[in-house]
Amino acid sequence: MRPSLSRGAKYISAAAIVTIAIPTGSLLDALHQGPPRDKMVVNSEWLKKHLNDADLVLLQVGEKPEFDKEHIPGARFITMQDVSDPASSARGAEKQLELPTPEALRAKLESFGISDKSTIVVYPGNDWFSPSTRIIFTLDWIGLGDRTVWLDGGMQAWKRAGGKVTADLPKAASGKLSAKPTKNLVVDAEWVNAHRNSPGYALIDARSPDMYDGTHPSMIKAGHIPGAHNIPFDQMTDDTYILKSPAALAEYFEKAGVKKGDTIVGYCHLGQQATGMLFAARTLGYNVLLYDGSFHDWEKHDYPVENPKAGK
């Protein structure tokens, strides 16, 4: 993990955070007139109307057998490993989701048919929603966030709405992505330790409550990063993976002490689950950062851990 941001690097130093605006295309123009949630989430009825649009790229996240059995017509199958650094897996499970180089990621995304003018719809198959939000986070990092939306409820909501499914595999030409600066969305352990109590930042642990409070038996260092509050990622949707209402989501963040204008810094085990919480935060208008590597990375450093169970 690198503590500072250099040309082509993936991590933020203590310098100011810069947000890069990406122009939108005609297919997304209507979405970008409303609040943040309307720019990030579409429902099955919207997708039915736009399913055959020329610039639409559908990405299904989940298990390959379920994709082979059925998927939304035209969808491509994508995994988190497709958009992660291949060398990170060799360094151990705690690094297996580390972001690749921008050049490698653009080349991979092009192989899925993604171009500068694409509208990208990411959806989960029968899987939970955080793998799909990890894909969305990665697309946002590479500069495609304003061109990417999440299908609310995923495949199951699509089927409930009468959407067609198929086992046919799509035939898509490769896309072409221009090289653009990546967004400053990822921080490392050194940055988190320096900013965990800084005004204007809200550190949020997106793991389950037993992980956060140190009662889960599988942890090496039980507890959480000092200063962090807990918003479990699996509370962001209902049981059918429909994103909860803005009011319901806002209540989680308010109870965690997040103030208006705060930048939310999220972590979990490896950097997957936290993206579900951060996605929900973005729909409320918050700026977000991800501690990639998360608590598994924190455990390896000589940084403090707060363990409520031990009274520390």
Q: What is the CATH number of domain 186-310?
A: 3.40.250.10
CB 62 within 8 A of CB 131: yes
- Res 278: pLDDT: 98
pLDDT score recorded for residue 221: 82
Q: What is the pLDDT of residues 3-49, one digit of tens each?
A: 333 333 454 443 333 333 333 444 666 566 679 999 999 999 999 99
Using alpha carbons, list the distances in angstroms from residue 281 to 43, 216, 251, 265: 19, 26, 11, 10
Q: What pLDDT score does 311 carry?
A: 54
Beta-sheet strand order (sheet of 76-78): 41-42, 148-151, 119-124, 56-61, 76-78
C-alpha to C-alpha distances, 198 to 4, 201, 232, 305, nearest whole angstrom:
18, 6, 22, 17
| Element at 288 (helix H, strand E) | strand 287-291
pLDDT tens for 132-171 read: 999 999 999 999 999 999 999 999 999 999 999 999 998 8
Residue 135: Cβ within 10 Å count = 26
| Cβ neighbour number for residue 285 with a 10 Å cutoff | 13
User: Which superfamily does CATH assign the domain made up of 26-160 to?
Assistant: Rhodanese-like domain (3.40.250.10)
Residue 28: per-residue pLDDT: 64
**What's the pTM?**
0.88
- Residue ranges, CATH 3.40.250.10, the chain: 26-160, 186-310
CA distance 39 to 120: 12
